[in-house]
Structure 1
Amino acid sequence: MTDRSEDADGEPAPEDAAGLDDDALDHEFSEGAGFDDPYAGFDLDPPELDVDPDTVDPVDSRVVADTLDERTLDNDAVDADELIDVGLSYMGINRNEQAVDTFERAAQYTDDDNREQEAWVNKGIAHGELEEWDAAVGAHREALFVADDGDFEAAAHTNLAYALWEFGEDEQAYEHAEEAVRVDKRLPQAWYNLGFIENERDRPEQALDALDNAIRLGFQQADVYEEKTRALEALGRDEEAAKVAEQADEIRSQQERELVDER
């Protein structure tokens, strides 16, 4: 998505991809969620979807889905921004097929190249949620085609890298991961993706540089510290690796506690 979306669970890399070890098969590849401006469009709760808690259970996703269906029926005056919000809300309730259709409509009905690019990136991520990697690759490539130097170019590259990796095209994935950080050096998820691939290519020094950049830019998920541990171990810096591994464990434990509290 332009990522207005939340992170999706990563899937195992294709088994015929060259150079994968067991750790790589369990890797959760970043999709770039949580971007700061200009990626700050990924709000899953547009105000138009507010419901009256006195009459409707606000956590009833069926009510939200019905509201979304009503909003997508009128073709007379289509607002691409509104459609993108609808698509993101569909993703928030795991209706990814409808999200795909909605993002495609948003791309079709806008004359703004940046908005069209945003819609295509989000469509690609929705395809990824459905594990439709070929379609995801196509959507992200379309995002790059419709807007040269667009606001979401880096997001398109890093999400394309993710989709290509899952599709088994690891060399192309590396190229787009590099391009993402060239386009936007302040995109932490792009640095993380590049760091993971550098580890896979047995280039721990380059991996460490990329992962440190991701951390400095605010990427604080356990995955980035686990990949940093891996790079440090490959460099023989075992004492540092042990400390970073502890950080990863602490972050993962905190995330698990937060999930329990939310329930």
Structure 2
Amino acid sequence: MTDRERDDHQFSEGQGFDDPYEAFDLEPPEFEVDPDKVDPVDSRVVTDLLDRRNIPADQIDTEQLLDVGLEYMQINRHEQAADTFERVAQYADDDRIEQEAWTNKGAAHAELEEWDAAIGAYKEALNIGGESEAQRASGDSSDETARSDHAATAETNLAYALWESGRSEQALEHAERAVEIDTRFAEGWYNRGFFLLERGLAEDAVEAFDNAIRLGFRNADILEEKARALEELGKYEEAEELADEVKEMREEAEEQLLE
């Protein structure tokens, strides 16, 4: 730019632009959303639309993305984990991976104590490669469809989320379904025993705890719950022995932490 400016130069006024000038419209028609269905301040909406528009599904490694979500879980970044698992479910073309993603998304929400979101995610997991709740209610089900890879985990996790939400009767129903799907699912037997004990069914609870222990799920928590069930049954001596064992296990764990 020079210091001299010419006052006599006539600049072209041009043809002008139409109103609005469509070529630079900030909201192309394909990105328009229904405000009755989408929160206009939800920042994820545009991102999701861009993802579906610009990222071919066959270019996304959903298993690798699933691992990213699991790493978020390990460092307690549960919000990021939940978002990552949701994206895995969005792009997965493998039912097994999609079901695992929904199950893990539920676990991430559970860590945040977002029980309604957790329940929703577990239900999504159970509707993949299996039967819907409507099918279960009508009795139109089959063992083959119900026995999908992560169904037992989703069922037992759903039971816990329902219990945390104050729906203990539904919790027991799903805990029982977990061990029907996989009879060797030790954690499922433990959770079933816990919910049975909460319902005052101590004898059935002890049997469930014993099944879990036989399958290798033996720790201070399950022994403590079994001791509580034995006390309910009036078997105080056995309960006291287990209580002593629980105390020793926890003292050893504390010593290891100090070391």
* TM-score greater than 0.5 by the shorter chain: yes
CA displacement at 1:241 relative to structure 2: 0.8
Q: After superposition, what is the alpha-carbon deviation per residue over 1:111-132, rounded to whole angstroms, capped at 9, x for unaligned?
A: 1111110000000000001110
CA displacement at 1:78 relative to structure 2: 1.3
Letter matched to residue 82 of structure 1: Q
Are residue 119 (structure 1) and residue 101 (structure 2) matched? yes
The alignment covers a number of residue pairs equal to: 188
Aligned to 1:207: 205
**Partner of residue 87 from structure 1, selected from 61, 65, 69:** 69
CA displacement at 1:181 relative to structure 2: 0.6
Aligned to 1:256: 254
Aligned to 2:89: 107
Question: Which residues of structure 1 form unaligned runs of 5+?
Answer: 1-73
Are residue 174 (structure 1) and residue 172 (structure 2) matched? yes
Letter matched to residue 182 of structure 2: D
- State the distance in 1 between where 2:65 and 2:112 align: 20
Question: Which residues of structure 2 form unaligned runs of 5+?
Answer: 1-53, 131-146
Mapping of residues 219-258 of structure 1, within 5 Å:
219-258=217-256
- State the distance in 2 between where 1:257 and 1:140 align: 37
Letter matched to residue 180 of structure 2: R
- Name segments (4+ residues, structure 1) moved above 3 Å: none
- State the distance in 2 between where 1:82 and 1:134 align: 27
Aligned to 2:136: none
Higher mean C-alpha displacement, 91-100 vs 241-250 = 241-250
Aligned to 2:127: 145
Which structure has more relative contact order (CA 8 Å, sep 6+)? It is 1
Aligned to 1:190: 188
Q: After superposition, what is the alpha-carbon deviation per residue over 1:126-171, rounded to whole angstroms, capped at 9, x for unaligned?
A: 0001110000000000000012131111011001001111111111
Larger radius of gyration: 2
**What's the C-alpha RMSD, in Å, of the aligned pairs?**
1.3
Q: Which has the higher helix share?
A: 2
Identity in percent: 58
Query: TM-score w.r.t. structure 2 length?
Result: 0.70
Aligned to 1:7: none
CA displacement at 1:260 relative to structure 2: 2.6
Aligned to 2:7: none
Higher mean C-alpha displacement, 248-257 vs 179-188 = 248-257
SS state at 1:228 partner = helix
- State the distance in 2 between where 1:222 and 1:109 align: 40
